[in-house]
Each structure stands twice: as C-alpha cells, then as structure tokens.
Amino acid sequence: MKSLLRLIPYLNRYKKSLLIGLIAIIGSNIFTVIQPHFVGRAIDDLKYGLESKNLDSFSLLYYAIIIVGFTLIAGVMSFITRQTIIVTSRKIEYDLRNDFLAHLQKLHFSFFQNTPTGDLMAHATNDISAVRNVLGPGIMYPADTIVTFVMVLTMMILKDWRLTLLALIPLPLVSFAVYKLGKLINVKFQERQEHFSKLTGRAQENLSGIRVIKAYVREDYEIQTFKNLSWEYLKKNLVLARYQSIIWPTMFLLVGISLVVTIYFGGIRVIENKMSIGTLTAFFAYLMMLIWPMIAFGWVTNILQQGAASMKRISKILDIVPEIRNSENLDLSIKDINGEIEFQNVNFKYKDSQNPILKNINLKIPAGKTLAIVGYTGSGKSTLVSLIPRLYDVTEGKILIDGKDIRVIPIEILRKNIGFVPQETFLFSETIANNIAYGVDEIDNEEIIYSADAAQLSKDLDEFPKGFETIIGERGITLSGGQKQRVSIARAIIRNPKILILDDALSSVDTYTEEAILQKLRAIMKNRTSIIISHRISTVKDADTIIVLHDGQIVEQGTHEELLEYGKIYKDLYNKQLLEEELEKL
C-alpha cells in the first residue's frame, strides 16, 4: 500500500475538486440517512391513525413530499460527487500516463535493450487503469462508506443502542475476512499483471515480425505459443476471480446474520412495547443501508490491492534513474557547437559485459572534416559513434567537443546538433514528408524536397500514389531497405547538423545510387564534421581520414592511399571487394 503514497502529489493538483466531491458526499448522506426516520414516523402515524380511526392523509402527504424531496437532493449531490471525484481520477490518469511516457523518454538506451516492449505497454495500459480506479472509486466509495457508516450508526444508537450492539456483532469478522483475502488478492493480481506483460510482448513481437513469421512458415507455431500464454493468463484470471468471489458471499452472509439478529430481538422489543413498529422499520432500513458499505468495503479492498500492485510495478520504472542525463557540472553557457571531436583514452564496455568493447581510443576529428571508420564485423564501429551523442557514456577516459567534455554540454544542445543515421532504420507509420521532417520543429516543404533530392529519394516518389504524402505503414513496411535508408538520410540532412554520423547508412543501396548520394553528400558535408561507417571501401575512400578498428582498437589510420600502401586490414578489405566486383561482372 505504500506505493499509493506516490499519488499524493497528483491528488494535490486537484484538491479543490476533491474537496467539493467530499462535501457533496456528506450532503448526499445527510439527506439519505434522515429518510428512514421520516418513514418510521409515517408508519407510526399511520398505525395510530388506524387505531384511533382518525387518519390524517395530509400528514402522510407531508412525509411523502419530504422523502421525495430529500431523495432528489441526495441524487443531485451524488451527481456532483461523480462529476468531481471520478472526473478528477480521469485527469490524474491522463497526467500519470503522460508522466510515465515522459520518464521513459528520459531513460538510457540500454534500458530499452533489456526491457520487453510488451512489459512497458502493459504498464501504460492495464496498470495505469488499475491505479485510476484507486483514485476514482477508491476515493469516492471509501469516503461514502465511512460517512454512511458513521451517520447510520449514530441514528441506530439514538434509536436503540442495545439492539445496535447486537446487530454489529458480525462486523469484526468482516474486517478480518477482508484483510486476509485482500493480501491474497494483491499477490494474485501482481502475478496476473506480470503474465499480461508477457502476453502483450508476444503479441507485439508477432505483429512486428509478421514478415519473418510468414517467410519461415511459423504461423502455427506462433498461434500455439500465443494460445499457451493466453491459457496461462486465463488460469491466473480464474484464480484471482476465485479469491475475489469469496469476498461477496462473505459480506452477504455476515450482513444477513445482522438482519436475523435485528428481526428477532427487535421483534421481541416491539411485542413487549419497548419499541414502536415505526422505530423498528427505521432501524431495519438503517441496517439495510449498512449492506452497501459492507459490500463496498470488500470491493474497495479489491481495488486498493490491485491498484497498489499496479502502482508498485509502475514505481519500479519511475524509480529508475537515467544513466545518461545532464550532470551537476552542466555548462549552461553552451548554446551551440562547432563540431571538433576528440577521444582521449576512451574505454567502454557494456553494463553486463565482461570484456571492454573499445580500448584506449585516442582520436581527433577537426571541425568540418570527414572521418571514415572501417573494420570487420564486431570491431566496435557502431559503439564508437554511439558515444558521441551520449547514447552510452564512456567507461573510462572522455570525449571532447570543441574542447569541452560532452558531459558538461546540455544533452538537448548536443543531440540537436547531431544528425544520426543508425544501422537499423526506424520509420514511423506516417507520411514520407513527416518522416523526413521528424527531427525539425517546423515543416518546410522546400527543405523536405531538397533533403529528399540529396538522399536520391526524389526519383522514387513517382512510384508512390501520393508522393511525399504517402503513408508508409508501420516501420516503413511498404518501402524497400534502400528506400528506408534514404528516408533516414534525408531526415538527418534536413536538421542541418554540425555533426553528421552515417552508420553503414548506404548498405542497402546499389553502387550507382550510392555514388549519386555521395556526390550530393560531399557538398553537404563540406564545412561539417562527418563520420561515415561502411563496409564498402568505395564509400569511405574520399574521407579526410580513415581509421580501421579491430578488436575495439584503432590499428590503422590514414588516407585511402596511405592505407593501401601501409595498411594490412584495410588493404585486405579492399582486395576482397575488388575480387567480389570482378566475380559479379563474370
């Protein structure tokens, strides 16, 4: 239950609405609880009138008007309660969901590598909805229950305190039963939510990887796997429902015992003329009013236990401190960068890795120059460039931009000045134009056209039904691999960054298109610091400096001509590509 205390700041934002709702609850209960008193008086007047044969119909009409009037007022108050407390819970749900997503956006890249997407989706849907129930029904019904219980109990004691004590004997048993069952419900609900995360994750992977599933004819396998997960989820739901279902009969049984006690002992007091029939009727009505608080008590316990379990799961995410964040030594005077990059004794290893990926990297890239990085697969090329925009932080050493440690540069300023085209292209289910303009605040059609032309994408637009306004589907599924890469290149170009990083960004285009793109990029990269990673020597040969990475270390460095003369790995890669080209011609 401690996890629910985190919701207090959200409640404070809407304390005025909540206060109005609580006042409305009190008002509604006042006009509801007073009604049985008038019903009892009406029955006594009716009895005495029949016995004395002097029945006053106007007095009965008077009671009827009062009861109907009080019912209408109580109804209005209940409406106000729902329009304040329940609506407030929806607003807090909106705030919490936005805060949750905002926190996710701040988390480090490695977090998303180690956390299933389905798990996060379950947090953002089911868990937040369960928390919202705590803030709506979880506030309204306990408040209503407490106020009703106090008022009804007061009226019952005023009517007959002895009979009240007898009628309330089963109540301690209610509290004990709800406490025990509530703890079990909390555990079972948390188990169900964790399994729901697995189910959501599997569904998400099926939809994202549908082409692979079909290509390998694994539809039946995936259907069976999902069916097994669904069956386990069903069983966990049934176990939870079993525990929840015990609460309701328990409530009715214990309240039923109170009714039997009231009828028996109250009937005796009426027979002995120690209580009027109207008073017993009112007393019985008050006891009936306690049925809902008892039921609501069990129901709200369910809600609170489920909400606490969900908030605990959400809190685990919210408590994660971003590993990549603005430091306390931030230099707020930095508003822009020129683009000089320097690696000083940089070492890096991933969090769960035993061996370092990069070792003793010393490298300087003057502003406006082009660096190319080549090497065998797994040599650390992508990791090296990922350190520049701080997707990861160095383990040892430091990276300088314009002579300043990148950790003192505001992350927003650093990344705003970097155009990054990663190996794995990701496109949104949007238009081509919106995907290209994703990294800029204002969409300029002329800049979109220029960027698309530079990326050699313009010639493909004739194939699309609506040109730039064509929706490309989730992850750009309607585009080829080369078209996806060119959209990503255009997305980086349109930002007009001071540092341009192309991580194997031309691997899916043919050599003719590659050369056309490079010709355009040479003009764009002029006076702009550029880093190109490629397996093709033709892509990197015109760079100002080329480095060769091997086993996380810089083993060769120089121009294309120098490396052909003195390099070993570079020359080996070059000769292999020449051989491949000759074989293709044959």
Q: Structural domain boundaries of the chain?
A: 2-318, 326-417+508-586, 425-496
Q: Give the mean pLDDT of 229-251.
A: 81
Tell me the C-alpha distance between 220 and 224, whole Å.
Answer: 6
Q: What is the largest CA-CA distance in the chain?
A: 127
pLDDT of residue 342: 93
CATH topology of domain 326-417+508-586: Rossmann fold (3.40.50)
Q: What is the predicted pLDDT for the residue at 73? A: 92
Reported confidence tier of residue 9, pLDDT bands at 50, 70, 90: confident
- Rounded CA gap, 20 and 77, in Å? 10
What does the pLDDT read at residue 39?
A: 81
Q: What is the pLDDT of residue 545?
A: 92
Over residues 270-277, mean pLDDT = 80
Which has the higher per-residue pLDDT, 258 or 85? 85
Reported confidence tier of residue 483, pLDDT bands at 50, 70, 90: confident
Q: What is the mean pLDDT of residues 225-244?
A: 85
Give 402-411 pLDDT, tens digit per residue: 989 999 999 8
Across the range 296-306, mean pLDDT stands at: 74
Rounded Cα distance, 66 and 70, in Å: 6
What CATH number labels 2-318? 1.20.1560.10
CA proximity to 491, closest of 459, 448, 533, 530: 448
Please list, in sequence order, all residues whose beta carbon lies within 8 angstroms of the beta carbon of residue 246, skipping any fewer than 6 positions away.
Answer: 181
Q: Which of 238-242, 373-377, 389-393, 489-493 is the least confident region?
A: 238-242
Q: What is the pLDDT of residue 55?
A: 58
As a whole number, mean pLDDT of residues 220-241 equals 86
**pLDDT (0 to 100) of residue 76:** 93
Radius of gyration for the alpha carbons in the chain, expressed in angstroms and rounded: 36
Min mean pLDDT across 144-148, 214-218, 311-315 is at 214-218
Q: Do domains 326-417+508-586 and 425-496 have the same CATH topology?
A: yes
pLDDT at 136: 85
pLDDT higher than threshold 70 for residue 95: yes
Q: Which residue has the higher pLDDT, 547 or 167?
A: 547
Q: Which residues make beta-bridge pairs with 501?
A: 420, 531
Mapped onto helix, strand or coil, the DSSP state of residue 499 is strand
Could you give the 3-state DSSP secondary structure of residue 174?
helix
Got the DSSP string for 557-580?
Answer: EE-HHHHHHH-SHHHHHHHHHHHH
Cα–Cα distance for residue pair 524/520, rounded to 1 Å: 7
Q: In what order do the strands lie in the sheet with 545-550?
A: 418-421, 499-503, 529-533, 370-375, 545-550, 553-558
Architecture per CATH, domain 425-496, reads as 3-Layer(aba) Sandwich (3.40)
Q: Is the pLDDT of residue 344 over 90?
A: yes
**How far lies 550's CA from each of 313, 361, 376, 377, 553, in Å?**
42, 11, 7, 9, 5
Q: Are 222 and 212 in contact (CB under 8 A)?
A: no
Three state DSSP letters for 88-147: HHHHHHHHHHHHHHHHHHHCCHHHHHHCCHHHHHHHHHHHHHHHHHHHCHHHHHHHHHHH
Helix axes 511-525, 481-493, angle to 10 degrees: 10
pLDDT value at residue 332: 84
Q: What pLDDT was estimated at residue 363?
A: 92
pLDDT, tens digit, 9 for 90 and up, residues 530-585: 999 988 888 888 888 999 999 989 999 999 888 888 878 888 888 888 887 677 66
Count Cα atoms within 13 angstroms, Cβ side, for 487: 31
Q: Which stretch of 77-81, 118-122, 208-212, 282-286 has the lowest confidence by average pLDDT?
A: 208-212
Task: Decide which of 586 and 264 is more confident.
Answer: 264
**Is a pLDDT exceeding 80 seen at residue 91?**
yes
Task: Give the pLDDT confidence score for residue 401 in this predicted structure.
Answer: 93
- Looking at residue 79, what is its pLDDT? 92
Alpha-carbon distance of 205 to 482, in angstroms, equals 24
> Tokens 């440690």 map to which residue?
405
**Displacement of CA 60 from its chain's centroid (Å):** 59
- SS3 string of 247-278? HHHHHHHHHHHHHHHHHHHHHHHHHCCCCCHH
Report helix, strand or coil for 421: strand
Mean pLDDT for the chain overall: 83
pLDDT of residue 56: 62
Q: Which residue has the higher pLDDT, 545 or 51?
A: 545
- Confidence tier at 215 by pLDDT (50, 70, 90): confident
The pLDDT of residue 251 is above 90: no
User: pLDDT band at 51, cuts 50/70/90?
Assistant: low
Nearest Cα neighbor of 231 from 199, 194, 191, 186 is 199
Of 346 and 58, the structure prediction assigns the larger pLDDT to 346
How many CB atoms are located within 10 Å of the residue 325 CB?
A: 14
Question: Strands of 341-348's sheet, edge to edge?
Answer: 358-365, 341-348, 396-401, 404-405
Instruction: Give the whole-number percent of the chain exceeding pLDDT 70.
Output: 93
- Look up residue 533 and give its amino acid: I
On whether the pTM is more than 0.85, the answer is no
Q: How far apart are CA 525 and CA 497, in angstroms?
A: 10
User: What mean pLDDT do residues 231-247 have?
Assistant: 82
Cα gap 152→384, rounded to integer Å = 72
Q: Specify the 3-state DSSP secondary structure of 500.
A: strand
Average pLDDT over residues 333-348: 90
Examine the pLDDT at 399 and tell me if it is beyond 80.
yes
